[in-house]
Homo-oligomer: A and B are copies of this chain.
Amino acid sequence: MATQLDQITQNLREILLEGEYEPGEALREVAVAERLGVSRTLVRLAMGALEQEGLLNRAPNKGFRVRLFTIDEVAGAIEVRGELEALAARNAAEKGIPKTLQDRLRAILSEAEVLVETGLGDLEARTRWIDLNTAFHAGIVEGAGNQSLGPAIDHICRIPLASPRAIVFDRTQPDRNVEQVRAANADHVQILDAIVNRQGMRAACLIREHAYRSGRNKRTNFDALQQARPLPALPGLALVRRGSSN
């Protein structure tokens, strides 16, 4: 048990990302404490951490409220992530990445390509692809050899939907999903090629565009989903609403 606090924080984080509380809603300590079965102190600790992550806002003597994320903020966050990943790709290309990392990334790409041919019909396949996608992006960052870069990207990825892990699958249009994922795979191949060939600028531009496209896909799929079902249950989605009234 890695301290109860970590578990509680993770629980509360998931609850928030599930959209169980409305954006702007006040989180009363006692209610949350009872629900999670722990003391108020622990809940307060967890809320403090989530405030740092940006999921909650705190007003002095008025407790914590669920933070509101606008679609523009998400788009901005993805742009920031793209820029940081571009820096990572450029650095990785300029200094060169070790053979072991190359092999790992190639293996990831191979498996991802095989996976897409299955059509991504079942949840397990989609989950696996997301893991591979995440691992690829992490690998690029690892190749950059900049210790500050990883945490910075992690931080920006805490904004709902900003992470490369937060793929929105619109299951009403599976063909489009497959097409998007296939395109992402193709991007990855080009990016790795650029890095291996020490083409820093090319790698940077490719990954920046890759992030941009991913953001656009998210927006498209999200809009489609919201039209089909007013309250989607996918993690993170319910936090995104239009019209920021602060």
Chain A positions 1-47 with a Cβ under 8 Å from a chain B Cβ? 2-3, 6, 41, 44-45
Q: Check: A194 CB closer than 8 A to any chain B CB.
A: no
Residues 132-170 of A contacting B (Cβ, < 8 Å): 146-149, 151-152, 155-156, 159, 162
A148 touches B159 (CB 8 A): yes
Partner of A84, one of B41, B48, B83, B151: B83
The answer to whether A76 and B155 have CB atoms under 8 Å apart is no
A61 close to B (CB within 8 Å): yes
Q: Count the A residues whose beta carbon is within 8 Å of the partner chain — how many? A: 34
* Number of copies of this chain that the complex holds: 2
A77 touches B148 (CB 8 A): yes
- Closest CB of chain B to A140's CB: distance in Å? 14
Within 8 A of B (CB), among A57-74: 60-61, 70, 72-73
Q: Identify the A interface with B (CB < 8 A).
A: 2-3, 6, 41, 44-45, 48-49, 52-54, 60-61, 70, 72-73, 76-77, 79-80, 83-84, 86-87, 146-149, 151-152, 155-156, 159, 162
27 contacts between A and B (CB under 8 A): A3-B60, A3-B61, A41-B41, A45-B45, A48-B49, A49-B52, A52-B52, A52-B53, A54-B151, A70-B147, A72-B147, A73-B148, A76-B147, A76-B148, A79-B146, A80-B84, A80-B87, A80-B146, A80-B148, A80-B149, A83-B83, A83-B84, A83-B87, A84-B84, A148-B162, A152-B155, A152-B156
